[in-house]
Structure 1
Amino acid sequence: MLRHGARLCVTAAAVLLLASCSGPDEDDGRVVEGRDWHWDTKAGASEASAFMNIAVPGDATQTKGAVQVNPQEDVYLLSFVTSEKNAEGIAEDLRPEEPLKARARDFAPEGERFGHLGLPEPQTLKGARWAGVCPPCVDDDRRKKVQWIEIHVQRLKGDQSRVYLQAF
């Protein structure tokens, strides 16, 4: 039989153990939102841009970015509003096999990644054009670390477009 003080220590240890196993954790400033992945709270547009080797145009507005840390591969997100000409140039610079084109929306988005940035998922946008490329497959030495990068371009008012980029 445990004494009262020992029982309190065992109870306190059990409560601490249960509390550490439930809900979000913080680890070095990075909030863990689930067991398998989390958003890197210290990474944003500059980290995503650097990973993708994409220069955000100087006239860009509403620039947002994030890094989703995953067990196998991290996902980098970047979005901004720029001119249609700049958006087209960024798409061409990726060296896709086909130019930007409308894509059938017969699939659900893979989670809600851009929702983390307060944006709709680009796959759900009517009229958004898409292109995807495997940089190593097209010998793009500028993006050696990138296995896949895709771009969605949503036409806005006037000559403006929102660019959505996702890479891993």
Structure 2
Amino acid sequence: MSLVVVFALVAGGIAAFSLLVDEALDEEVKRDRTCCWDKHATVASVARRIGIRIPTSAIDRRAGVKENDRQTVAVIAFTVPTRLAESYLARLVPEDERMVAPTWPDGSAPPEPDSTFRHLGLPEPSTVGPHSGVRTVNLCPDAAGKEAVHLKHCVDVYRLAVNGTADRTRLYFRSVVAGQ
């Protein structure tokens, strides 16, 4: 067998192996995005687990808990009138913190998270784009905001106008509640 044939066989084997690995990783990513959602999670149970108090006038309340080998992530989202959202966030976010557009230090948009909010039928707030006006902050139980004393875990908070209107705001909360 000539050296060219051996090289071609080795290169072909490497290419085939690479395709199989890529396909397996794609399947794992797809499975991770759809797998392991707690079918018994309710808005009330998720709110208690994170330590979020939901305003009584909130509508379109959605929540879920996703468990995998590495971590358990709890998510919750609800819609309130914009004025209520602003007063709620003023009590939650410490005075020395501010909500900012979700970006990385180089100014680019953050990579898509694990589609937790998409599972709830909502857009991922960190990827809706800079034109949307989305703002975010990360808070932990030791934060100084009056409402933050109820937090049981660190939480990413997002604020986004609903359908581009100024009168309704959706608040999103994502928290790793176990693992990592």
**TM over 0.5, shorter chain:** yes
Select 1:160's aligned residue among 168, 174, 179. 168
Q: Report which structure shows greater RCO (CA 8 Å, sep ≥6).
A: 2
| Residue of structure 1 in register with 2:150 after alignment | 142
Indicate the percent of aligned positions where both proteins have the same amino acid: 25
Q: Does 1:66 align with 2:71?
A: no
- Name the CA distance, whole Å, in 2 between partners of 1:47 and 1:131: 23
How many residue pairs were aligned? 132
Q: Deviations over 1:33-89 (max 9, x none)?
A: 65xx61100002111111122221122111100011133431111111101122223
Q: What's 1:110 paired with?
A: 113
Distance in 2, matches of 1:90 and 1:131, equals 14
CA distance in 2, matches of 1:101, 1:82: 20
TM-score by length of 2: 0.64
Supply the RMSD in Å over aligned alpha carbons.
2.3
Q: Which has the higher strand share?
A: 1
- 1:81 maps to a residue whose letter is T
Q: Any unmatched runs of 5+ in structure 1?
A: 1-32
- Call closer, same or farther: CA 1:138–1:42 in 2, change over 3 Å: same
Higher helix share: 2
Query: Does the CA contact (< 8 Å) of 1:60 and 1:82 recur in 2?
Result: yes
Range 42-51 or range 89-98, more displaced: 89-98
Give the corresponding residue for 1:13.
none
Structure 2 residues not aligned, in runs of 5+: 1-30
TM-score of the superposed pair, with normalisation by structure 1: 0.68
Matches within 5 A, 1:55-94: 55-94=53-92
CA distance in 2, matches of 1:49, 1:90: 15
